[in-house]
Amino acid sequence: MKKLVIFPPVDDLRLQRIQDAAQDMVVVNAADQATADEAIVEATAFFGKLTPQLLARAKQLDWVQSPTASLEHYLFPELVAHPCQLTNMRGLFYDVIADHVLGYVLMFARNSHIYLRQQMQSRWAPVGGEEARADFVNGPGQVNAIDRGALHLADCTLGIVGVGSIGGEIACRARAFGMHVLGVDPVRREIPDVLPEIWPIRQLPDLLASSDFVVIAAPHTPETEKLFSTEQLQQMRDSAYLINIGRGAIVDLGALTTALEAGQIAGAALDVFEVEPLPADHPLWGMENVLITPHVAAASPRIAERHTETLLENIRRYINGEEFLTPADKEKWF
C-alpha cells in the first residue's frame, strides 16, 4: 500500500484535505523527528523537508514533493542519485510576482522611487530640475527636462530571462501597458499576440542590448548561476533597469554594485539576493536608483490555497499513476 509521510507536520485543516485526497493511502503527519525516522522506512511518498538522514532510511520511496518552487537548497547528492520522482511548487506565483515586477517598472518609469525618498524629507524637487518645472508651469509647448526624466512605457522594451509561468505573466502584463516584450528561454513556449517568438539563451546579448527593463524570472540552476556578471551588465543599455525576482545567485552582486556605481545601468530592483537578508552595511541600501524588497514578491493571501491544491493534485495523480503536475529534473534543478 502507498504511504505518504509529511514532515514537518501540517495543520489539522490541511491534513484533513490531504487525507480526503489520499483515501487509498496511509498518511503519517509526523509530529517529531522520531516519528518521521520510523515512518519514512516504509514510505512510498514524502512531502516536506527531506534530509540525507531521512532518505538513507527510506526503502521504497518513489515520490518526493518539495514545499518550494526553487530546488537549489532542497537538493543534495543522495537525492539527485535516488530514483524517486521529485516534484516542486512552481506555477503558483505567476500573477502575484508579475504584479510585483510591474510595480517596480511603474515606479522607475514615473520616478516614484525618487519621489518617495523626497517625500520623507518634505522635499519638492521634480526630476529634471527647477528650471524645467518653470517651463512646464508656463505651458508644455515643448518636451522639457521633466518630460525627459520620465519613461513612456509604450516606447519601452521589457526583456524577460526565463519565460515560464511567472515570466509569461510578466510578458502579458507588460504588453497590457503597451510595452514591447522580448524573452529568452531554453524551452520555446510562445505566447500569441504577446511574445510570438522566444529566443534561445545564446541570444541573451541581443535581449540585453535591446531592453529598457531586463527581468530575471529564471530558476537558480548550474547554468544560471552568476549568469549576470560584469560582461552581461556591460551589454545592457546605460538607461536600462535590472529586475531580479528569480534567485539571488543568478546575479553577481559585486558586479552589479560596481555597474550601478559606475552608471553602467540606470538602476535595479531586487527581491532576491546571494545572501539573505542583505547585510545592513551593503552599499545597495544607500543607492537612490535601487529598489529592495525582502524576498516578498510572492506574498499573497492566495498562495497557501494554491500550494495545497498543487499538493492535492499531485497526490491524486500519484495514486492514479498519472504524470505529475509539477515534475522536476533533479540534474537541472527545476
Ligand X SMILES: O=C(O)C(=O)CO
Binding segment (CB under 6 A) for ligand X, from list 32-40, 48-56, 68-76, 313-321: 68-76
- If the CB atoms of residues 20 and 223 are measured against ligand NAI, the closer one turns out to be 223
Q: Is 313 labeled as catalytic in the residue annotation?
A: no
Q: CB 318 → ligand NAI: shortest distance, Å?
A: 20
Cβ proximity to ligand X, 70 vs 144, nearer residue = 70
Q: DSSP code of 285?
A: G
Query: Which candidate in 82, 90, 173, 247 is catalytic?
Result: 247
Q: Write the CB contacts of 103 (distance below 8 Å, at least 6 apart in sequence).
A: none
Burial environment of residue 83 by CB neighbours within 10 A (0 to 12, 13 to 18, 19 or more):
exposed
Out of 298, 312, 319, 325, name the contact with ligand X by CB under 6 A: 298
Compute the distance between CA of residue 10 and CA of residue 65 in angstroms, rounded to an integer.
Answer: 14
Residue-wise DSSP of 153-219: GGG-EEEEE--SHHHHHHHHHHHHTT-EEEEE-SS---BTTTBS--B-GGGHHHHHHH-SEEEE---
Q: Is 276 a catalytic residue?
A: yes
| Interactions with ligand X, residue window 73-92 (CB under 6 A) | 89
Cis peptide before 277 (omega within 30 of 0): yes
Residue 210 contacts residue 159 (beta carbons within 8 Å):
yes
Residue among 70 and 85 whose Cβ is closer to ligand X: 70
Considering only 63-71, 125-133, 139-147, 236-244, which stretch makes contact with ligand X by CB under 6 A? Answer: 63-71
Question: Least distance (Å) from ligand NAI to the CB of residue 254?
Answer: 21
Binding to ligand X by residue 69, rule CB under 6 A? yes
Q: Does 70 engage in binding with ligand X (CB under 6 A)?
A: yes
Annotated catalytic residue 295 = yes
Could you give the residue numbers annotated as active site?
247, 276, 295
